[in-house]
Structure 1
Amino acid sequence: MPTPREVFDKLSEGVTSGDWSELSALYAEDTVVEHPQRPPAPTRVVGRATVHEQFTRGLVSQLRLRRKNVLIHETTDPELIVAEYDYSGEALATGKTFEAANIQVLRVRDGLIQWSRDYHDYLRIAAARDGLEELADGAEKAEITVEPLPERPVSTADPKSPRGVFERLVYGVSDGKWDELADLYAEETHVTHPFLPGAPALKSRQDLREHFAQVSRSATKIQARDLVIYQSTDPEVVIGEFVYQGESVRPYRVSNIFVMRVRDGLIVESRDYGDYVALAAAGGWLRDLIKRL
């Protein structure tokens, strides 16, 4: 029976070869594929037949893609992996090329993809397709439903463990502990935001202190919810999916997935894949974000 890693490798080979008509065979009959950050609103695809239609008639069929820089995180759940990778791509209609980051969470059972949560850099892909105006118009007009917050789960994690540090960061933002958040990072660290154009790498605790100070000046009330943490087989690495919910110029509900390395109770590396299109649309600065491209 193929392992989750082997199934992902087959998926990558099919994407790179452009053999879209065969890829749905890697998915279970009742598979669920979610795109939490797809503008103007998240999508959920159910069933192998619908996945096949998406592969052969949807957006990906309009692109030539090559996966590279693949990093697979195997987790303590043997069915589940998290894959980070880049696309070197070309929009077939325009001939424009692009480089884009991606991350997927996949559950593979009996050799087939049972469900997948796929995060892509839609901003750079839209730019290559000459679709930025369409993307911006849709995101700015999207109706956002903000639901009542559930009760925050009681943590049972060691506060200095990777899971405990991740929770302290996410809920520290919720509690407005901006002055304390930088202390969760090592003196020398490396934090990137792959989906945010022009964002510099933050390489020190002082960089993070200045970053959080800047965020605090513009931040409205923000709350984290729906946090799910996956423990890598590398004991230093955790991956967390969660939602930030709040209100800026208008309400927002944005999905995030962070890949974090914690050593001796401090964050030494983090790649933060946030939905900056939705966040910028809610804050009225989406057009400025697009100019960064």
Structure 2
Amino acid sequence: MTTSTAPADVYRHGLRLLLDGDIPAWVDLWDDEGVFEFPFAPAGWPERLEGKAAVAAYMRAYPDHIELHEIPDLTIHQTADPRTIVVEMRAVGRLMRTRAPYDMTYIAVVTVVDGRITRYRDYWNPLALPADGTADFAGSAR
């Protein structure tokens, strides 16, 4: 567990938890009233989750859909607000159902207050999903 409450450190720690498949610990990084948003969510996918319980329910099945192997590219930008970072990253792994490779690029705007994620805007690209419908969960879950 990271002891730092700096947004970049909390985010990096969260990535390690996702790579380890420890979704409950990742959810524990969230504030009880945290908001998770998906501005580019396709029709039928959630656009906004409100509260830690909603984030937990949403992420519960993540390991059943995606196995992350590495984050080969990660850049964290500080903003004028010391609580908010902008993250550019690429996640690589495999889709569990088909065993197909998973390679997704993300942009995220994340706000951390007192070591807890209070807002996470995930600008993942739904156009990068396989066109054959084999991806049930990519960057976001339904």
| TM-score for the superposition, normalised by structure 2 | 0.81
Question: Following the alignment from structure 1 to structure 2, what is the Cα–Cα distance between the partners of residues 196 and 175?
Answer: 26
1:271 corresponds, among 121, 125, 142, to: 121
More helix by share: 1
Deviation at 1:247, TM superposition (A): 1.7
Equivalent residue for 2:39? 194
Question: Following the alignment from structure 1 to structure 2, what is the Cα–Cα distance between the partners of residues 221 and 236?
Answer: 27
Distance 1:190-1:280 versus aligned 2 partners, 3 A rule: farther
1:228 corresponds, among 52, 62, 75, to: 75
* Contact preservation (8 Å) 1:228, 1:240: yes
Identical pairs, percent = 27
* Contact preservation (8 Å) 1:181, 1:212: no
Deviation at 1:280, TM superposition (A): 4.0
Q: Please provide the CA RMSD for this pair.
A: 2.3
Distance 1:221-1:215 versus aligned 2 partners, 3 A rule: same
Distance 1:180-1:283 versus aligned 2 partners, 3 A rule: farther
3-state DSSP of counterpart to 2:8: helix
Question: Following the alignment from structure 1 to structure 2, what is the Cα–Cα distance between the partners of residues 268 and 174?
Answer: 21
* Contact preservation (8 Å) 2:111, 2:117: yes
Larger radius of gyration: 1
1:207-230 deviation digits (Å, cap 9, x = unpaired) = 111112121222234422211000
* Contact preservation (8 Å) 1:223, 1:246: yes
How many residue pairs match? The answer is: 131
Q: Which has the higher contact order (CA 8 A, sep 6+)?
A: 2
* Contact preservation (8 Å) 1:171, 1:224: no
Gaps of 5+ in 2: 137-141
1:181 corresponds, among 13, 26, 49, to: 26
3-state DSSP of counterpart to 1:159: coil
Distance 1:216-1:258 versus aligned 2 partners, 3 A rule: same
Gaps of 5+ in 1: 1-156, 287-291
Question: Following the alignment from structure 2 to structure 1, what is the Cα–Cα distance between the partners of residues 134 and 47?
Answer: 22
State yes or no: 1:160 paired with 2:5.
yes
* Contact preservation (8 Å) 2:66, 2:94: no
Question: Following the alignment from structure 1 to structure 2, what is the Cα–Cα distance between the partners of residues 192 and 178?
Answer: 18
* Contact preservation (8 Å) 1:173, 1:222: no
- Whichever residue aligns with residue 242 of structure 1, its letter is M
Distance 1:282-1:262 versus aligned 2 partners, 3 A rule: farther
